[in-house]
Amino acid sequence: MIVRNLRNAEQTGRRIVTPGWESTRLLLKNDNAGFSFHITTIYRGAKLPMHYQNHIESVYCVSGYGEVETVADGKTYPIAPGTVYLLDQHDKHILRAETEMVMACVFNPPLNGTEVHDADGVYPLEAEAVVD
């Protein structure tokens, strides 16, 4: 069994901070669960173009308000507490935060833990693993 505490994990290399967002990766590839699980905070006013070409992501909004836009068709979807969205088609999208948003995110394949978006909003398929 694996048991981790968010507040404790925030004090380790599992916490990644970048412009617009920060993420604490509670479960990673080396946990051998077949997915990774993250608590991500999107900062108020952030506008984040993303395109997970190598991963499927599911996102659940715990708190805050914003919207996600699918670039292919320009459709926007409001995000509020209780909203879930799934990027099951490797959808190129833009996430906008009206307020600070706390999101619970699941990635398949799982992340190694140090991933950040490249210039195209993509996470690499492989990255350096977090060492506890």
pLDDT digits (tens, 9 = 90+) for 99-118: 999 999 999 999 988 877 77
Q: Is residue 83 part of a domain?
A: yes
Q: Is residue 113 part of a domain?
A: no
Q: Is residue 3 part of a domain?
A: no
Find the domain containing 73 and state its range: 21-108
- Residue 112 makes CB contacts below 8 A (sequence gap 6+) with 28, 29, 30, 126, 127, 128, 129, 130
What is the predicted pLDDT for the residue at 88? 94
- 62-104 pLDDT, tens digit per residue, is 999 999 999 999 999 999 999 999 999 999 999 999 999 999 9
**What is the Cα gyration radius of the chain?**
14
Count of domains forming the chain: 1
Q: Is residue 54 part of a domain?
A: yes
| CATH, residue 69 | 2.60.120.10
Q: Is residue 127 part of a domain?
A: no
Query: pTM above 0.85?
Result: yes
* Closest C-alpha among 83, 82, 56, 54 to residue 68: 83
